[in-house]
């Protein structure tokens, strides 16, 4: 359970970043009506690529290597740390609804949603596989397989490893011009890599299933993909808006009363939006729209990413403060880490002899004493975690005593000549975990 708990801070920050990015993209779409659909689509993909890059960096780098850095900080420490009863606003040892309990509820909910999302994605994958299996190939253009299907209501495109596909409904075979236009539209989806980005947005919707902004972003991106394809085809000057609109109307008329399409596909006509066709035809005849320069797109993407970073850090700062302004978790002593997790079962924090040692979070003292290799030891239960503090003198707490976050429990002991005084600090929850992954970014409360 602790492994999942360590992912919770990043998940919360990811949701905050997506909310800020989606709001900015939708606001730009409203405030810049003359911006081309292609430029707007590049904004969507640039922001999504930044999210993926940040998640990948934080997943691959060792914990604590970049503390508090990156777009998606992992510093919402208290919920993941099981930070005692501070979250509930009380330090009474009998209170069961602590941060650890809330963490377990969130983890169970997240796992349930992930399982449900995985089932839905598997269902869509099976439907897509069956659709492609039952289609009849017309021709191939490069690595794109052009097929016809008797029952699909609208032309669609999709990508599977090793092969791109375009599937057109059989009724379009009666109209050669409409068939060429539909195929050209779906091929444009492949040129824009829309069929690949559909998987990214589907994954974000599953991972952030409770976040309405993740779903709104996926819908906005799909809508912008269609507008960008229309725009790219009309810029070729080989067809008129009237002919293009006529093809869309014919497909929409065939679509009425038909079932939905398979997942992971881009379609000539979207499902479920009665205004989609009207909006697309209106944009076809709007000649005032123009593309943004590449530098302008990059600057806008950078500004949106900065906004997402601020939103993630704001969430972190809000979670670091307990009700009433008291900190939920703090560094047990001010100092520099001498030895990190791995060399020990915990970390060694250098501090002057006599420096005050504080409780990492609210909890209940389990034991006070000394064992071999750990003189002056205090153990405190912090929710679902057990904190061990070694090398203490002047201990001022006793077994069974309730402590609050940042409450002084003792002082750092002196050290033999040639060594530095330090506090040895451990956190465990069934197994030992890296304390730095649960501590606030800054060392420590003043």
Stretch 115-143: mean pLDDT: 85
Pick from 13, 95, 64, 63: nearest CA to 382: 95
Q: Say which residues have a Cβ less than 8 Å from residue 367's Cβ, sequence separation at least 6.
A: 377, 378, 379, 399
DSSP 137-204: EEEEETTEEEEEESS-SS-EEEEETTEEEEEEEGGGGG-HHHHHHHHHHHHHHHHTTHHHHHHHHHHH
Q: Please determine, for residue 368, whether its predicted confidence score (pLDDT) is greater than 50.
A: yes
H/E stretch holding 318 = helix 294-319
Stretch 31-59: mean pLDDT: 81
pLDDT band for position 76 (50/70/90)?
Answer: very low
SS3 for 386?
strand
Q: Which pLDDT score is estimated for 392?
A: 92
pLDDT band for position 366 (50/70/90)?
Answer: very high
Q: Which pLDDT score is estimated for 264?
A: 60
Q: Which pLDDT score is estimated for 322?
A: 39
Domain extent listing, the chain: 135-271, 336-437
Structure tokens at 39: 């430029």
Q: Which pLDDT score is estimated for 68?
A: 42
Q: Please determine, for residue 44, whether its predicted confidence score (pLDDT) is greater than 70.
A: yes
The angle, 0 to 180 degrees and rounded to 10, between the axes of the packed helices 294-319 and 2-31 is: 140
Q: Which pLDDT score is estimated for 337?
A: 85
Average pLDDT, the chain: 76
Q: Please determine, for residue 97, whether its predicted confidence score (pLDDT) is greater than 50.
A: no
pLDDT band for position 279 (50/70/90)?
Answer: confident
Q: Please determine, for residue 284, whether its predicted confidence score (pLDDT) is greater than 60.
A: yes
pLDDT band for position 45 (50/70/90)?
Answer: very high
Q: Say which residues have a Cβ less than 8 Å from residue 85's Cβ, sequence separation at least 6.
A: 91, 92, 93, 95, 97, 98, 99, 362, 363, 383
Structure tokens at 186: 């779906």
Q: Say which residues have a Cβ less than 8 Å from residue 271's Cβ, sequence separation at least 6.
A: 255, 260, 261
Torsion angle in degrees (nearest 10) through CA of 297, 298, 300, 306: 160
Q: Please determine, for residue 380, whether its predicted confidence score (pLDDT) is greater than 90.
A: yes
pLDDT band for position 147 (50/70/90)?
Answer: very high
Q: Which pLDDT score is estimated for 397?
A: 92
The angle, 0 to 180 degrees and rounded to 10, between the axes of the packed helices 276-284 and 241-255 is: 170
pLDDT band for position 291 (50/70/90)?
Answer: low
Q: Please determine, for residue 378, whether its predicted confidence score (pLDDT) is greater than 90.
A: yes
Share of the chain above pLDDT 70, in %: 72
DSSP 105-133: HHHHHHHHHHHHHHHHHHHHHHHHHHHHH
The sign of the dihedral angle between the CA atoms of 226, 229, 233, 235 is positive
Share of the chain above pLDDT 90, in %: 13
Pick from 342, 354, 329: nearest CA to 98: 329
Q: Which pLDDT score is estimated for 267?
A: 62
Q: What is the pLDDT of residues 395-439, one digit of tens each?
A: 999 999 999 888 999 999 888 776 788 899 999 888 888 888 888
In this structure, the number of other CB atoms found within 10 A of the CB of residue 390 comes to 22
Bridging pattern class, strands 374-382 and 363-371: antiparallel
Stretch 345-368: mean pLDDT: 90
Q: What is the pLDDT of residues 175-187, one digit of tens each?
A: 888 888 888 888 9
CATH number for the domain running over 336-437: 2.70.70.10
Stretch 288-297: mean pLDDT: 67
């Amino acid at each position: 359970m602790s492994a999942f708990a360590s992912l919770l801070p990043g998940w919360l920050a990811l949701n905050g970043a997506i909310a800020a990015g989606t709001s900015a993209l939708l606001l730009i779409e409203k405030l810049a009506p003359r911006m081309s659909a292609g430029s707007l689509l590049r904004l969507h993909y640039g922001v999504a690529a930044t999210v993926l890059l940040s998640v990948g960096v934080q997943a691959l780098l060792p914990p604590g290597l970049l503390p508090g850095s990156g777009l998606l900080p992992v510093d919402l420490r208290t919920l993941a740390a099981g930070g005692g009863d501070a979250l509930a606003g009380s330090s009474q040892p009998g209170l069961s609804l602590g941060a650890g309990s809330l963490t377990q509820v969130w983890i169970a909910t997240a796992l349930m949603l992930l399982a449900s999302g995985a089932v839905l994605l598997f269902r869509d994958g099976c439907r897509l596989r069956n659709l492609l299996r039952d289609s009849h190939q017309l021709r191939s253009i490069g690595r794109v397989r052009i097929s016809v299907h008797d029952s699909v209501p609208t032309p669609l495109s999709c990508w599977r490893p090793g092969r791109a596909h375009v599937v057109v409904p059989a009724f379009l075979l009666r109209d050669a011009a409409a068939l060429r236009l539909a195929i050209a539209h779906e091929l444009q989806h492949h040129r824009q890599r829309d069929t690949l980005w559909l998987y990214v947005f589907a994954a974000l919707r599953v991972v952030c299933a409770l976040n309405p902004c993740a779903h709104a972003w996926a819908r906005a991106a799909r809508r912008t993909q269609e507008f960008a394809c229309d725009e790219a085809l009309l810029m070729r000057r080989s067809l008129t808006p009237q002919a293009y609109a006529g093809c869309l109307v014919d497909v929409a008329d065939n679509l009425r009363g038909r079932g939905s399409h398979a997942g992971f596909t881009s379609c000539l006509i979207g499902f479920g939006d009665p205004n989609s066709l009207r909006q697309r035809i209106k944009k076809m005849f709007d000649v005032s729209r123009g593309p943004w320069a590449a530098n302008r797109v990059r600057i806008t993407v950078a500004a949106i990413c900065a906004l997402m970073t601020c939103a993630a850090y704001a969430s972190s700062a809000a979670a670091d403060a307990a009700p009433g302004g008291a900190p939920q978790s703090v560094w047990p002593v001010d100092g520099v880490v001498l030895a990190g997790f791995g060399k020990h079962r915990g970390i060694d924090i250098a501090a002057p002899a006599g420096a005050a040692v504080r409780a990492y979070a609210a909890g209940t003292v389990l034991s006070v004493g000394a064992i071999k290799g750990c003189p002056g030891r205090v153990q405190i239960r912090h929710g679902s975690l057990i904190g061990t503090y070694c090398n203490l003198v002047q201990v001022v707490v006793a077994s069974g005593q309730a402590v609050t976050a940042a409450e002084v429990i003792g002082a750092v002991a002196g050290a033999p000549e040639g060594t530095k005084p330090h506090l040895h600090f451990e956190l465990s929850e069934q197994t030992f975990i890296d304390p730095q992954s649960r501590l606030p970014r800054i060392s420590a409360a003043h």
